[in-house]
Amino acid sequence: MSNSNKNGMFSHLKSDMPASIVVFLVAVPLCLGIALASGAPLFSGIIAGIVGGIVVGAMSGSQLGVSGPAAGLAVIVLTAIQELGAFEIFLMAVVIGGVFQFLLGIAKAGIIGYYFPSSVIKGMLSGIGLIIILKQIPHAFGYDKDYEGSLSFAQPDGHNTFSELYYMFEMISPGAIIITSISILILILWEQPFMKKIKLFQLVQGPLVVVALGIFLGLFFQGSEIVGLKASQLVSIPVSDSLSGFFNQFSFPDFSAIGNPAVWLTGLTIAVVASLETLLCLDATDKLDPMKRVTPANRELKAQGIGNIVSGLIGGLPITQVIVRSSTNIQSGGKTKMSAILHGFIMLGCAMAIPFILNLIPLASLAAILFLVGYKLSKPSLYKSMYKLGKSHFVPFMVTILGIVFTDLLMGIGMGMVVAIFYVLYNNYKKPFLFETKEHMKDGIIRMELAEDVTFINKASIQRALAQIPDGSKVTIDATRSINIDQDVIEIIEEFETNAKFRDIDLTILERKQKGIVNQIKAMEKAFAIHSVQPTKKSKITVKNV
């Protein structure tokens, strides 16, 4: 078998097919719930899910990312539809947003995603894991007032994540609790090592058994006043009478609105928010990938742009890469992008042919599946490992989690970023120069070895250190290893040079050997272009402590 076949899209169908079914089962109620929260036709969420799977999945470089309508855009979509006056006008904004996203990919704006620290990304994953668990608890008990896919603390009905847990006790459904409890037991059983050794259970995924059992129990409970499920406790996909009725659910943008400035502003807003959310999820998905593959971010922006253009043209909601679906894909055993593509085709086929079967799936069954997804994203072991890394990692991690739980995804990430940047600045403030007593105070000479990069952030610490030097000392300021020194710092050193004459300080300044920062990335790219590097047959990793 050739190497391309080994790593191709069809090389892991045994793993990708079951994963795609689980992702599809989770994605359907999320698509419908986000459409409901957005004030858009329910079927627009299904369209976005189909396009996110098939179109974006095929064009994306992400092997495990799954795209579809995102809860983070629901408020923007709801407001935009109301302000623009018609859903068809809003679809024009979605198309324009897709064009902007594609242009961002061409402009190589994907690099923005690499500026988010690992502590914030891991905090985002853990925060979403907690949110998934908290938001699914009411569904597990049969209280389904909040829409599926909600990730915000505040809810449209005036409740919030925690008050919802109180109100659910007023409407507990014994049938939903029975389905949830049995489903959780099955999923835990399926995770046990001895179960994974049995070939049959390797082929049949636990979530599929849970959904099949949920449908069976739902039908079995029908007619019972005590354990019977209500329509609101089941998946509710729009059902058409015929194939022509199915296609009649698609809608098209109002191209006459292309000259409306409000449409362009909405399109730009969608492009910026959707791109940011995609890049964040992209980084998080790569971290969850067992093979640690790195997705080309600019290609992802182009794929998302094309996806949004297509979605807008046929009546779908805006699309982003979504961490709930992506993490479900990874934890269900997905290996390549084929799982995302297949989930889109399955959604299309089921929406066309058998929507009535989907409408038999209890939300309690899906809640059990998502409980496991949430737990795996927010394992206690992750908190322990982050704590061991120290405050500069643990504090931004925790702030991101709390921010996501008590506000929303983007606000929580923003809060985590602010704290992470504070620690970067603080650590930079502490390290303007190297100073070890044994090395830098020999023979009565105080030697300050400036860091490689000395910026205005270091002004205060350098000024403070120079002011503390005793009168009559011998001082050497060594800048030979510095590449970049801000003019602000140079002025401080020059002022100290003048002041040293009045303080009887014997001062020596060793100047920089290299002045100015050269773009090392471009230098490497140029070297690779000139000198071809022959790949080695076997991987070899050597780590040396220096």
> Does 361 share its domain with 483?
no
Question: Given this model, what pLDDT does residue 5 score?
Answer: 46
Kindly give the residue spans of alpha helices, DSSP state H, lying in 107-252: 118-140, 161-167, 174-190, 193-196, 199-203, 206-220, 243-247
- Percent pLDDT > 90 in the chain is 66
For residues 140-146, give the mean pLDDT.
91
Residues 366 and 438 both lie in one domain: no
The proportion of the chain whose per-residue pLDDT surpasses 70, expressed as a percent, equals 93
What's the whole-number mean pLDDT along residues 366-388? 94
H-helix segments, 289-337: 297-314, 323-331
This prediction has a pTM of 0.83
Q: Using pLDDT thresholds of 50, 70 and 90, give the confidence band for residue 194.
A: confident
Picking from 33-42, 278-287, 519-528, which range would have the lowest pLDDT averaged per residue? Answer: 519-528
In whole numbers, what is the pLDDT of the chain averaged over residues? 89
Evaluate whether residue 523 is within a structural domain.
no
Q: Are residues 355 and 437 in the same domain?
A: no
Output the pLDDT for position 537: 59
Answer yes or no: do 375 and 444 share one domain.
no
pLDDT above 90 for 346? yes
Token duo for residue 542:
């050597």
Residues 136, 272: one domain?
Answer: yes
Same domain for 45 and 126? yes
Task: State residue 2's pLDDT score.
Answer: 40
> What are the percentages of helix, strand and coil residues in the chain, rounded to 5?
65, 5, 30
Question: What is the CATH number for 482?
Answer: 3.30.750.24
- pLDDT: which is higher, 174 or 444: 174
Alpha helices in 113-173 (DSSP H): 118-140, 161-167
Q: Lowest-confidence range among 107-111, 250-254, 396-400, 443-447?
A: 443-447
Rounded to an integer, the average pLDDT of 511-533 is 73
Q: Is residue 322 part of a domain?
A: yes
- Most confident region among 1-10, 157-166, 268-277, 426-435 by mean pLDDT: 268-277
469, part of any domain: yes
**Has residue 1 got a pLDDT over 50?**
no
Q: Determine the average pLDDT of the residues in 364-381.
A: 94
Average pLDDT over residues 136-149: 90
Whether residues 129 and 244 fall in one domain: yes
* Whether residue 438 is found in the same domain as residue 362: no
Confidence of residue 10 (pLDDT cuts 50, 70, 90): confident
Query: Would you state the pLDDT for residue 543?
Result: 58
pLDDT tens per residue, range 50-81: 999 999 999 999 999 999 998 889 989 999 99
Look at residue 541 and tell me if it is in a domain: no
**Is residue 118 located within the same domain as residue 245?**
yes
Looking at per-residue pLDDT, the higher value among 317 and 150 belongs to: 317
Select the more confidently predicted residue: 522 or 171. 171
Between 208-222, 290-304, 360-374, 436-450, the lowest mean confidence (pLDDT) is in 436-450
Does residue 372 sit within a domain? yes
In 468-526, at which residue ranges do the beta strands (DSSP E only) sit? 474-478, 484-485, 506-510
Task: Examine the fold and report which residue of 381, 399, 418 is the final residue of a domain before the chain moves on.
Answer: 381
Residue 2 lies in a domain: no
pLDDT-derived band at 4 (thresholds 50, 70, 90) equals very low
> Which token pair is 489?
């710092």
Domains contained in the chain, number: 2
- Is the distance from CB of 385 to CB of 123 less than 8 angstroms? no
pLDDT per position as a tens digit, 477-503: 988 888 888 888 899 999 999 999 999
- The arithmetic mean of pLDDT across residues 140-159, rounded, is 87
Residue 124 has pLDDT above 80, yes or no: yes
Q: Are residues 368 and 439 in the same domain?
A: no
What DSSP line would sit under 325-346, residue for residue?
HHHHHHHTT--STHHHHHHHHH
pLDDT at position 544 is: 59
Q: Kind and range of the H or E element at 235?
A: none
Range of the domain at 468: 433-510
**Helix and strand element counts for the chain (H, E):** 26, 9
Residues 84-115: pLDDT tens digits? 999 999 999 999 999 999 999 999 999 898 88
**pLDDT at residue 539, rounded to an integer:** 56
Within a domain: residue 108?
A: yes
**Segment 381-389 mean pLDDT:** 95
Res 217: pLDDT: 97
- The answer to whether position 414 is within a domain reads no
Within this chain, do residues 375 and 440 fall inside the same structural domain, yes or no? no
Same domain, 349 and 485: no
HSE (side-chain half, CA atoms, 13 Å) at 289: 20
pLDDT reading at 443 higher than 60: yes
